[in-house]
Structure 1
Amino acid sequence: MTNRVSARLMLERHRYFVGRAPELERFYAVVTASELPCFVLHVYGPGGVGKSSLLQEFIYLCEAEGVTAVYLDGRDMEATPALFLQVLALALGLSPASSPLAHLGEQQERFVLLVDTYEQLAPLDRWMRREFLPQMPDNVLVVLAGRNQPSLEWRMDPGWQSLLQVIPLRNLSPDEGRRYLSLRHVPPDQHQAILDLTYGHPLALSLVAEEFAQRPSIRFTLTEATDVIQALLERLVQKVPGPAHRAALEASAMVRVVTEPLLSSMLNLPEVAELFAWLRDLSFVSSGQDGLYLHDLVRDTLAADLRWRNPLWYRELHRRARDFFAGHLEQTHGLEQQRILVDYVFLHRDNIMLRSFLDWQMRDSHILVDRLAPEDPPQVVEMVARHEGEDSARLAAHWLNIQPESVVVYRSDAGELLGFLMMLALPQLRPEERAVDPGVQAVWSYLDQNAPLRPGEQATLFRFWMARETYQDVSAVQSLIFITILQHYLTTPGLAVTFFLAADADFWQMLLAYANIQRLPQVDFTVGGHRYGVYYHDWRLEPPAVWLAVMAEREIAGEQTPPIQPMAANQVLVLSQPDFAAAVWDALRDYTRPDRLAGNPLLRSRLVMARMAEAGEADAPIQALQALLQETAASLRQSPRDLKLHRVLHHTYFQPAATQEAAAELLDLPFSTYRRHLKAGIRRVTDMLWHAELHTG
């Protein structure tokens, strides 16, 4: 019988696997015990530390011992109980509707379930701990691997304390690092310099080894490689076997996950099997159920480099990916369609207008999107009463009684209600039901007079949406609400028109205008003394696929629609320190491009608004931001120690040379020294601006 390729893959992975002896011994002892001493092994460690490689080695040990093992990746599914069970059923060879728990309960032999990238399933952690895992038969060992250690609930539960074992992963030891480098044929006289530079971080070691595979004659020293990862990745794009390989790597960096059909479409090549196989063999590429994943660090660095170095090719790859997803969106449904939507959103990860909303979701993933439960309506009504008053609360109770299925709720991992979204299906409402609510009556009158529905067409009113604590301000819950709305836009059959209501319509106007969601001030209405603004989109005039294409073009072009308008003091955007730092870096990079600066979130910072007020330039936020950047950088000239930083910033951003290499030559600096000074200069300017932001009244 012919052996499967998967067996060869497992052997090759095992051949290059080094270290982790204590972790392997512990796993072996558990999986071969006559009675499982624990039921969950939780492996955790930072990105690139080798969690996935360790799980593959666990599978190798299971094969050697005749133990059945099934591997799942959290990146391959949406974080809902139903979809998790569906993916598990498919991995077990069952139909999607089958019960994987019932199937496992029928097995008499030892069984291992491995769940990788568990941080992506954080909203399911409570469900896993309290419902799914307790139903597992006692001959099943579950291995969870993610970036975070088990939550406090795991560690404080007296039951799980004895049935859970935690395995933290750290960098490889010097001896293990040397063994790995030897396996990758890196010259022994280079090992110490590489270990000193990487501290044994597995991903960094693999990147160095990849560089040696491309250029066997190079030498690494601490003085030459100030920022090893950045430098390696920049050179990697240039040192691949050929132009087609480089294009394949750049295409892979644009998307969340790459498959052969997607790669073929993005490269406009009928046959890409060889390129796909080459990608799969790269040390920073992992294989999942959906396809190939570049490591986050590699992908983001390559994409940023491509966008700066070759913006026309960046635009073209972006367009081809978009067209591929658009062509498959209407052909799929269920789990596959949801994955395509995730891929669509991923294409916008660098959008200056949308980044903060997407980042909110990524930073706070311990929120579960759920349907309304019988005990939820009183809490929903109380939430509306707190933020909008008793009159609005009575209307919310009215609609909860008529269309409870229209409500989506957002819960903490402890089950606490954090917010909700109500999506009323307007055609299903009777006239007497609509007449109770001024908001519903107002939008229905507009619809009836200006855009009447045809038979079978649907219209949705996003009537209530809020977070329990922050109402309609920017927050993690708000971000998830907007993503739910996006999913509704793209997946609702026959959707013709949507209406969106906001208590502070002016605050959201810039973002919604950018998204072609039209403001209808003539439809605004009042409930309980509060005025609510109305936004509108007719999907018959601009279908979802066309709308997505417009959004994508704006993302890659840096288009801002409409021009920045004066903002009131209560519209200040409160940025976290990481977001502020990212915005400063973007603003420096785009200093000479006002069209790109137009979307920078610093324009809504307290710092810029205060500058505009002082200078009487309420109509010139971009000029205010430019002046702040230049003045802050100029202050570095006051210190002899920082003068070199100012010179590098000046010739890179304010009076930029053609390239960074040209700037280094102009300053008569080695490129590595130039890069070090540039990084330090950006950090100094960011620190000074952050301090001013915190202390601006």
Structure 2
Amino acid sequence: MASLGERLHRLRQRSFAGREDEIALFRAVLAASGVMFVHGPGGIGKSTLLDAFAQVAAEAGRAPTRVDARHLSLGPDPLPALAGEARPVLLIDTYERLEPIDDWVRERYLPSLPGDSVVVIAGRHAPGPRWRADPAWRELMHVVPLGNLPDTAGQAHLAAQGVPESMHEQLLAISGGHPLTLSMLVDAVRRGASPRALSDLPDVVGALLTQIVEEAPTVRHRAALEVCAHVPVTTEDLLTALLGADAGDLFAWLRTLPFVVESPHGLYPHDVVRDAIDTDLRWRAPDRYADLYRRKLAAFLDQIRAIPGERDRIQLLVATILTNRNRSGIPALRALPPAAPAYIDRLRDSDQAAIVAMTAARQDERQARLVEHWMRRQPGAFRVFRISGELRGYTACLDLTAADAGVDPVVDGMWGYVSAYGPPRPGERVRAWRFFVDREHGQRPSPSMTLFLAAQMLDIIELGDDVAWTLVGAFDDAGRWRQAMEFLDFGPAHGTPGVFAHDWRRTDRAEWAERLHARQIGAPVRPPGPDLDRPVLSRPEFAEAVRSALRCLHDPAALRDNPLLRARMVRHGRSPAEQLRDLVDAATRTLPADLKVLVTRTFLEPAATQERVAASLHLSFNTYRRHRDRAVAQITDWLWSHETGAATPAGAIGSASAS
């Protein structure tokens, strides 16, 4: 009995129509050797044509190797090594994702393949000028522009799909022979839709998507389709996390949709479909769109934290950046290219000379000397970007202290800013993105730039509670990146040109995520920046606020103005006053038994004057006050550790009887 995969393959073969000239050319190339470069806009049928090429190769006894550049792993060997294979056939799809390394593919990778290889490259754009300027490539390569299907091929496709002949002319007129749109129209017709005449393709896709979503079997199926359009790749686990219960049936249904593609990493819709579904949901059901975005963000952060390796975490962040870049409407983000096959790596000693040289070439000698200084002082702060092991760029996120002043003018400006607007308290850190350079592109859009932004996002996700500030001062053209930085809630550091800042004590990660969500859906949100109106208490100010809060813990009116109610540790969940009482109670439970009783009778459950509490504990009032002050100091230490992320001081919790 044939497998389900074999049955699906036969059905897909049956519905394939047209492209006779392209297949004839491929047969000719297969009989000899050479390269075909197929190009055309999204949804024009490039991937389907590669399926047909793979079938032709298999019938000829050749074993084709398929590569989709959308799903290449970020590593040193992005494309397969075929040196040991006899008469290899390589089919590369979505080549526009590899355009940043087009020179490497043309000059190094393809020439390394066996001489009897057959290679088909399929992408949205025609070969660049360097391909056309090389007489050898002009001789060896066949360029194939792919257009819409002619009416005869479209009619054959519709007939194979069982569409009544009376509808062929109408559907072909609506689609214009665009294969993806035609496939979507067939699916809509099977669900009872009556397509209208629309000349503009995005309107066609939008109208059809509305029909398809509305005709989904259930509300949960419609929600699954919306998730699929909203995330880079959809897995069954992700559907379960976002939609609840067992999502196996939903995942199986998504796999049957004609515009959903399977990849090694999960399911994804064609680009035009993804954008149309997402836009349609945002317009049609803005509340559901906002809820989906919020839940997706939470699931995504959990997914990132669960991935063990930095490189893999960066890869998922890159996919997310690329999925959302156009939705942001921010030019600097929309210009970002795919990162593959570039990947992030640790700094090696052998990288340092090349980093200094590329900095001098792309920026200036002074900047190069500063990079050299920081590589000696904080080598662990540096990350590099490589392609096939070769250094392509770098970045650095420094941990700043007062001892770093006096060498680097930008760092001096950063430290001066945080010192003026919220100095780090004991145990707190200041993170500063100080450098970024790509060897070939400087700070223009490049795979390195995409990785740089992904590294910034990962640093935010992995922040400890001990981080007070993150600053970004790596951009030569800060004006170009201002909108993107403000979208990420980093405001200009006033008085420090080219630097953006975020104070995590005033706006922590949970609130940061809420603001990111609000900006993504266009909801009102307070201006980006460090929220200077929120106090950051020094250690003595914090201690005084704790003493004051303990005295009026059960007096809401008196407690209302206590600065602890605006502290980071009480910013989420129940009301700040309730959270503060819970924290004081938790701190009290860490005390020895005698101090715990003292604090309970004095502050948590006061029923008498402090003199009577002292008498009930059989303590003189002077001894009682000494023990009370020690307990208050230890509660303060415990609360401070929760506010700043610092460890509780060793030996802080001790018995009153020890005094």
Secondary structure at the residue paired with 2:66? strand
* Partner residue of 1:194 out of 147, 171, 175: 171
| Runs of 5+ consecutive residues of structure 1 not aligned to the other structure | 89-100, 525-530, 565-697
Query: Could you say which residue in structure 2 is the equivalent of 1:483?
Result: 453
Query: Do residues 120 (structure 1) and 97 (structure 2) align?
Result: yes
Q: Which structure 2 residues correspond to residues 142-541 of structure 1 after superposition, within 5 A?
A: 142-215=119-192, 218=194, 227-270=203-246, 272-332=247-307, 333-334=309-310, 336-345=312-321, 348-349=324-325, 352=328, 355-362=330-337, 374=353, 377-381=356-360, 383-385=362-364, 394-396=369-371, 398-399=373-374, 422-426=395-399, 435-441=406-412, 443=414, 450-451=423-424, 454=427, 460-465=431-436, 480=450, 483-487=453-457, 489-490=459-460, 496=467, 497-501=469-473, 512-517=485-490, 520-521=493-494, 532=497, 534-537=499-502
**Distance in 2 separating the partners of 1:229 and 1:344:** 23
Secondary structure at the residue paired with 2:258? coil
Q: Is the 8 A contact 1:504 1:532 kept in 2?
A: no
**Distance in 2 separating the partners of 1:15 and 1:532:** 63
**Distance in 2 separating the partners of 1:299 and 1:192:** 27
Secondary structure at the residue paired with 1:66? coil
**Distance in 1 separating the partners of 2:319 and 2:341:** 20
Matched letter for residue 451 of structure 1: P
Matched letter for residue 151 of structure 1: G
TM-superposed deviation, 1:51 = 0.6
Q: Deviations over 1:414-447 (max 9, x none)?
A: x999xx76425337x995x754224335546787
* Partner residue of 2:84 out of 81, 101, 106: 106
Secondary structure at the residue paired with 1:181? helix
Matched letter for residue 336 of structure 2: Q
Q: Is the 8 A contact 1:349 1:358 kept in 2?
A: yes
* TM-score computed with the length of structure 2 as normaliser: 0.67
TM-superposed deviation, 1:314 = 1.1
Distance 1:543 1:62, change over 3 A: farther
TM-superposed deviation, 1:213 = 0.6
Query: Could you say which residue in structure 2 is the equivalent of 1:8?
Result: 7
- Which protein shows a greater Rg? 2
Q: Is the 8 A contact 1:377 1:400 kept in 2?
A: no
Q: Is the 8 A contact 1:423 1:460 kept in 2?
A: no
Matched letter for residue 306 of structure 2: Q
Distance 1:111 1:484, change over 3 A: same
Q: Is the 8 A contact 1:190 1:220 kept in 2?
A: no
Distance 1:19 1:475, change over 3 A: closer
Q: Deviations over 1:313-349 (max 9, x none)?
A: 1122222222221111111125542342135435644
TM-superposed deviation, 1:52 = 0.6
% identity of equivalent residues = 33
Distance 1:546 1:318, change over 3 A: same
**Distance in 2 separating the partners of 1:519 and 1:128:** 40
Q: Deviations over 1:235-291 (max 9, x none)?
A: 222223333322222222222222222222222231x33332322222222222222
Matched letter for residue 175 of structure 1: T
Distance 1:335 1:61, change over 3 A: farther
Secondary structure at the residue paired with 1:84? coil
Query: Could you say which residue in structure 2 is the equivalent of 1:131?
Result: 108
**Distance in 2 separating the partners of 1:394 and 1:72:** 42
Secondary structure at the residue paired with 2:306? coil
Distance 1:71 1:53, change over 3 A: same
Q: Is the 8 A contact 2:470 2:501 kept in 1?
A: yes
Q: Deviations over 1:295-315 (max 9, x none)?
A: 222221222121121112112
**Distance in 1 separating the partners of 2:72 and 2:341:** 16
**Distance in 1 separating the partners of 2:352 and 2:25:** 42
Secondary structure at the residue paired with 1:82? coil
Query: Could you say which residue in structure 2 is the equivalent of 1:28?
Result: 27
Matched letter for residue 359 of structure 2: V
* TM-score computed with the length of structure 1 as normaliser: 0.63
Query: Could you say which residue in structure 2 is the equivalent of 1:63?
Result: 58
Secondary structure at the residue paired with 2:363? helix
Q: Number of matched residues?
A: 517
Secondary structure at the residue paired with 1:463? strand
Distance 1:74 1:223, change over 3 A: closer
Q: Deviations over 1:152-198 (max 9, x none)?
A: 21222233233322222111111111001111222212212322332
Report the more deviating stretch, 390-399 or 233-242: 390-399
Q: CA RMSD in A?
A: 4.3
Query: Do residues 73 (structure 1) and 61 (structure 2) align?
Result: no
